[in-house]
Amino acid sequence: MSIPPRLAVKGLTRSYGGRTVVDDVSFSVEPGHITCLLGPSGCGKSTTLRMIAGVEMQDSGTIHVDGKLICDTHTRVPPEKRSIGLMFQDFALFPHLSVADNVAFGLKGRKAQKRSRVEELLARVDLARYIDAFPHALSGGEQQRVALARALAPRPRIMLMDEPFSGLDNRLRDGIRDETLSILKEEGTAVLLVTHEPEEAMRMADEIALMRAGKIVQFGAPYNVYNAPVDKAAAAFFSDINVIRGTVRGALTQTAFGQFLAPGLPDGTCVDIVIRPQHVRIDFDRAGRGPLPTPEDGTPARAVVTRSRFIGKESLVEFALDYDGSAMSATVPSVFLPKPGTPLWLMIRRGRCFVFPDRGETLTPG
C-alpha cells in the first residue's frame, strides 16, 4: 500500500450568497514540500486555507491528513486537533509575553522540555539572544522569525501560511523567505503557502497551484508552470507577454515572424502566439535588411522603436511592427536605450512561443 500524502484536499467547494468562490479544488502536499496557492486577489486562496485550518466549513469536499479524514460534510476535527500550524500576514505576537513565552505558547509538557524546544527553535531562527526580550524591542523581520518559531514549536504536520511575508520590506523579505524555507524543509513540514506574487511562488514552491476564479487552472513545478502555461492568462500571470495574432490557413498561421504550425485547427481559427519579452531578440538594421532566418528564431521582422526605458537590471524596449503596426516589447540586459523611430529587427525564439487557439473567435475563411 502506498503512503498517503501528508495533506490531501479533494473536491473542496464553498459558496457565499450563491457565488462559488472555491470550486472543486483538489491537490495534495507531501512532507517537506512547499505548495503555493498562487492567484489574483479574490480567487479563493484564503478561503481554501481557512477550510483546511478548520475555521471555515466547506459545502462539499474532503480533507485528509496522513490518510486520516479530518473534515467532510459529516466529520469535523476541530482546528486545534488537526496538527496544523498557521502563519498569517498579521501574525501578531502577544505583546505582554516574552519571546520565550510566545514561542512556548502552544507547547505542552514539562517546563524543562518546553524550554529546550524554545531554545532550539530560537537558535534555528538565529534569535537566541532575544529569548527574554519583549516583542516591541524586535524589528519586523525578527518578529516574523519569532512567529515562525512559535508556529513550528508544537511540530505541526502541516503549516499553512497566508501571505506571511507581505508586511516586510523587499530586502528583508528575500532573506527571511529563504531562511524560512530552509527551516521548514529541515523540519519536514508540509507547507501550503498562499501568495499573489509569482516571484514569491517561483522562489519558494516545489509545486504551484495556479488559481483563477475559485478553480485550480494549472498545477506543477514552477519551471513547468512558467514554461508551459495552459493558456494566455496563465502565461500573463508570470510576466508581461507579447501576443501575436494570426489566422489559420491550411494548418499554418501566417505572422510577421513567418509561419507557425497550427495542426488540427480549422481554417479561420484565430490563434494567439504568446512570447515573453525576454525571449524576443533584437538585431540591427543594415540598410533595410535584417539578419537571416534561422530554424531557432524563424523569420526576423522589422520594427520601429516607440519607447525605451531602463528598469534596473535591464532595459525595456517597445516597438511597432512594420508588418501590421502591432506593438511588441523586448527586454535587454543592462542599458540599451535606442531612440524612438530607430528601425531594428526582432526575432522570436520559436521554442519559447506558446500557441493558443482562440476557440471563441472563429472567422469565416475568406
Ligand X SMILES: Nc1ncnc2c1ncn2[C@@H]1O[C@H](COP(=O)(O)OP(=O)(O)OP(=O)(O)O)[C@@H](O)[C@H]1O
Which partner, Mg ion, ligand X, none, binds residue 43 by CB below 5 to 8 Å per kind? ligand X
* 48 near Mg ion, rule: CB under 5 A: no
- Pick the stretch among 38-46, 226-234, 277-285, 330-338 that binds ligand X (CB under 6 A): 38-46
State how far the Cα of 179 lies from the Cα of 144, in Å rounded to an integer. Answer: 11
Non-local CB neighbours of 227 within 8 Å, separated by 6+ positions: none
| Strand ranges of the sheet holding 280-284, from the earlier edge strand across to the other edge | 280-284, 343-348, 301-310, 314-321, 327-333
* 196 near ligand X, rule: CB under 6 A: yes
Residue 122 is which amino acid? L
* 195 near Mg ion, rule: CB under 5 A: no
CB of residue 164 vs ligand X: minimum separation in angstroms? 12
* 41 near ligand X, rule: CB under 6 A: yes
Cell numbers for 48: 481554501
- Pick the stretch among 45-53, 148-156, 184-192, 205-213 that binds Mg ion (CB under 5 A): 45-53
* 146 near ligand X, rule: CB under 6 A: no
| Strand ranges of the sheet holding 269-275, from the earlier edge strand across to the other edge | 258-261, 252-255, 242-249, 269-275, 354-362
Question: Quick check: 95 and 134 in contact, CB under 8 A?
Answer: yes
Cell numbers for 162: 497566508
Q: Which is nearer to ligand X, 37 or 332 (CB)?
A: 37
Choosing from 10, 21, 83, 320, the residue that interacts with ligand X (CB under 6 A) is 21
CB of residue 43 vs ligand X: minimum separation in angstroms? 4
Choosing from 8, 9, 29, 43, the residue that interacts with ligand X (CB under 6 A) is 43
CB of residue 316 vs ligand X: minimum separation in angstroms? 27
Q: Which is nearer to ligand X, 46 or 247 (CB)?
A: 46
* 138 near ligand X, rule: CB under 6 A: no
State how far the Cα of 192 lies from the Cα of 121, in Å rounded to an integer. Answer: 21
Choosing from 35, 46, 48, 315, the residue that interacts with Mg ion (CB under 5 A) is 46
Which partner, Mg ion, ligand X, none, binds residue 196 by CB below 5 to 8 Å per kind? ligand X
Which partner, Mg ion, ligand X, none, binds residue 177 by CB below 5 to 8 Å per kind? none
Q: Which is nearer to ligand X, 72 or 197 (CB)?
A: 197
CB of residue 201 vs ligand X: minimum separation in angstroms? 12
State how far the Cα of 72 lies from the Cα of 65, in Å rounded to an integer. Answer: 12
Note the residues at the interface with ligand X (CB under 6 A): 16, 21, 39, 41-47, 196
Name the site residues for Mg ion (rule: CB under 5 A): 46
